[in-house]
């Protein structure tokens, strides 16, 4: 009677399996560990790239937000007024601290100068209509509130940019302030001639003006009206007399 066969360690299906400590098994184990290491490095690189992409996206979003903010606000101008005084030696001395433009109270002389210039530019007529457009741009920068609508109606009526046969000059007579209601009265004389009639026509005019302040958003406007002075309402009429 034959004895049963005892299976050998490391054998299966008729093939002998190498022991765990053999050289071939070590190479397989090292290869497996290398694959694991490479997979871990690949996952780490992917994670770093994702973080870099998110950080880059955040930077782009911030830059776009800054550019949009700058585009929206680049026309806005924050103006301040610094009062100065020139001493006996010609040195400029700063008085006080800079004030916000609209917090500064201009003296009456500045209002009177502005109103005199406003009247001259509106009522003057000459052959150069290009120069007239520049004059009226200045006027609009010094006009606000309901006075702007009145000025637009006056422009449509007078058509100052249209070449005509009439030439007209303006000579200021006086600018005075009335306390109640607070306003300014301007008196001036107009001398006009027409090509068809060489005689000089003289007329006397009076205007009553209410004034205020305006915040100009664009730098070009601020440079033309540094203190934000403007006419808020006006009424002009011809005085009796003249020829």
Q: And the tokens for 133?
A: 């457009």
Q: How many domains does the chain have?
A: 2
Residue 237: pLDDT over 60: yes
Domain membership of residue 120 (yes or no) is yes
**Do 62 and 145 have their domain in common?**
no
Domain membership of residue 222 (yes or no) is yes
Q: And the tokens for 207?
A: 């205007």
Domain membership of residue 157 (yes or no) is yes
- Check residue 74 and report its DSSP letter: T
**Do 69 and 117 have their domain in common?**
no
Q: Phi and psi for 84 in degrees, rounded to 5?
A: -130, 165
Give the per-residue pLDDT at 210: 95
Domain containing 174 — which CATH number?
A: 3.10.450.230
**Do 152 and 216 have their domain in common?**
yes
Spatial CB neighbours of 19, under 8 Å, sequence gap ≥ 6: 10, 25
Domain membership of residue 86 (yes or no) is no
| Mean pLDDT within 51-58 | 66
pTM given for the model: 0.62
- Is residue 171 classed as helix, strand or coil in its secondary structure? strand
Structural domain including 25 reads: 15-73
Domain membership of residue 217 (yes or no) is yes
Tell me which residue of 138, 145, 148 sits closest to 118, measured CA to CA: 138
Tally Cβ neighbours within 10 Å of residue 168: 16
Place of tokens 């299906």: 13
Q: Tell me: the pLDDT tens digits for 72-86? A: 555 555 555 556 667
DSSP 30-61: HHHHHHHHHHHHHHHHHHHHHHHHHHHHHHHH
**Do 31 and 111 have their domain in common?**
no
User: How many Cα atoms sit within 13 Å of 179 on the Cβ side?
Assistant: 0
Q: Tell me: the pLDDT tens digits for 84-136? A: 667 677 676 666 666 666 677 888 999 999 999 999 999 998 877 778 889 99
Q: How confident is the model at residue 137 (pLDDT cuts 50, 70, 90)?
A: very high
**Do 117 and 59 have their domain in common?**
no
Question: What gap in Å lies between CA 30 and CA 142, rounded to an integer?
Answer: 86
Q: Rounded to 5 degrees, what angle do the CA atoms 151, 210, 206 make?
A: 75
Question: What gap in Å lies between CA 190 and CA 207, rounded to an integer?
Answer: 13
Beta bridge pairs of residue 234: 209
**Do 160 and 226 have their domain in common?**
yes
**Do 51 and 110 have their domain in common?**
no
Output the CA–CA distances (angstroms, integers) from residue 90 to 58, 93, 96, 167, in the order listed: 55, 9, 19, 44
**Do 51 and 116 have their domain in common?**
no
Tally Cβ neighbours within 10 Å of residue 71: 9
130: preceding bond cis by omega (within 30 degrees)? no
Beta bridge pairs of residue 231: 143, 211
**Do 182 and 114 have their domain in common?**
yes
């Amino acid at each position: 009677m034959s004895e049963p066969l005892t299976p050998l360690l490391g054998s299966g299906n008729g093939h002998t399996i190498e022991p765990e400590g053999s050289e071939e098994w070590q190479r397989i184990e090292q290869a497996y560990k290398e694959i694991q290491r490479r997979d871990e490095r690949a996952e780490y690189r992917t994670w770093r790239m994702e973080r870099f992409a998110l950080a880059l996206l955040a930077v782009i979003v911030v830059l776009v937000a800054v550019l949009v903010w700058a585009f929206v606000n680049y026309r806005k101008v924050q103006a301040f007024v610094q009062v100065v005084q020139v001493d006996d030696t010609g040195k400029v001395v700063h008085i006080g601290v800079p004030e916000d433009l609209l917090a500064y109270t201009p003296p009456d002389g500045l209002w009177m100068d502005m109103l005199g210039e406003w009247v001259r530019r509106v009522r003057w007529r000459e052959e150069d209509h290009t120069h007239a457009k520049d004059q009226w741009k200045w006027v609009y920068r010094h006009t606000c509130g309901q006075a702007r609508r009145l000025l637009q109606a006056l422009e449509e009526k007078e058509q100052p940019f249209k070449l005509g046969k009439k030439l007209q000059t303006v000579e200021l007579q006086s600018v005075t302030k009335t306390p109640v209601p607070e306003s300014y009265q301007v008196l001036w004389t107009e001398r006009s001639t027409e090509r068809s009639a060489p005689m000089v026509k003289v007329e006397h005019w009076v205007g009553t003006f209410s004034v205020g302040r305006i915040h100009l958003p664009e730098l070009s406007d601020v440079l033309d009206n540094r203190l934000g002075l403007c006419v808020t309402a006006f009424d002009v009429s011809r005085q009796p007399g003249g020829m």
